[in-house]
């Protein structure tokens, strides 16, 4: 019995190690670390980003797709009610259960009619939205699915499917409690516009930035 248990532990260790290797080999193309910040971007860049985010928000609203500010864009809203001055992209979070109910072709068509390119990255479970005439700035839309048993939302994507499913075992699932997404969602200002945000203000950041949410970012600009 003892030997059998040891074999199970060894097998689980090997599987976990394999998952970690795969995870590191295929890390997100666009990170959202908040501990450090890059050099400030121009006011023109931020103005273009603000316009792009408003277009994306309007399209998602037209399809009745629930979405929230999240990650670094939510930090900007919380701290200064605007984009952080070094922001190169806008972050939104959206929910798989609603995406599954809409016509994918109609959604892509809505973006195309606004001269926007929508692309989905299945490995990491997010969309990238760009103007068809420019690669920057861009909006990154992270897709979350609700785990009914754990009552948590967690990131989708086949890469995360290789990881243990329990939110307590790995931060890479980027879980947060389902009770932070309750209708009607609060609406807060970000620049000249207003957007839905999760319940509890900073609470979601305590999950997405468990080791740094209380810190101020270090500016790494040379």
Task: For residue 23, tell me if it sits in a domain.
Answer: no
Can you give the pLDDT at residue 16? 53
Can you give the pLDDT at residue 24? 52
In this structure, of 38-42, 100-104, 151-155, 191-195, the range with the lowest mean pLDDT score is 38-42
- Which pTM does this prediction carry? 0.86
Q: Determine the Cα–Cα distance for residues 113 and 153; give it in Å rounded to an integer.
A: 31
Q: What is the pLDDT of residues 152-171, one digit of tens each?
A: 999 999 999 888 889 988 88
Q: 199 pLDDT exceeds 60?
A: yes
Q: Determine the Cα–Cα distance for residues 213 and 206; give it in Å rounded to an integer.
A: 6
CATH code, domain with 204: 3.30.460
Longest CA span, the chain: 67
Mean pLDDT across the stretch 158-186? 92
What is the domain extent for residue 47?
Answer: 30-219
Task: For residue 14, tell me if it sits in a domain.
Answer: no
Using pLDDT thresholds of 50, 70 and 90, give the confidence band for residue 14. Answer: low
pLDDT cut 70: percent of the chain above it: 82
Domains: count for the chain: 1
DSSP annotation string for 101-124? TS-HHHHHHHHHHTTEEEEEETTT
């Amino acid at each position: 019995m003892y030997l059998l248990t040891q074999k199970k532990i060894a097998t689980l260790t090997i599987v976990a190690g394999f998952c970690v290797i795969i995870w590191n080999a295929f890390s997100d193309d666009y990170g959202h670390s908040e501990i450090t910040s890059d050099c400030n971007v121009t006011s023109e860049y931020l103005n273009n980003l603000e316009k792009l985010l408003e277009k994306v928000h309007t399209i998602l609203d037209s399809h009745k797709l629930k979405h929230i500010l999240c990650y670094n864009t939510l930090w900007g809203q919380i701290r200064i009610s605007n984009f952080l001055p070094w922001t190169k992209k806008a972050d939104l979070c959206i929910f798989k259960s609603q995406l599954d109910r809409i016509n994918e072709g109609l959604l892509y068509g809505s973006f195309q009619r606004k001269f926007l390119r929508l692309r989905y990255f299945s490995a990491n479970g997010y969309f990238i939205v760009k103007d068809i005439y420019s690669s920057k700035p861009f909006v990154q839309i992270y897709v979350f699915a609700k785990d009914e048993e754990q009552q948590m939302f967690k990131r989708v994507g086949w890469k995360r499917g290789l990881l243990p499913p329990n939110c307590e075992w790995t931060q890479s699932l980027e879980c947060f409690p389902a009770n932070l997404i309750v209708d009607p969602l609060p609406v807060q200002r970000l620049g000249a516009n207003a957007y839905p945000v999760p319940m509890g203000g900073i609470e979601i950041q305590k999950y997405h930035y468990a080791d740094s949410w209380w810190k101020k970012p270090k500016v790494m600009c040379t």
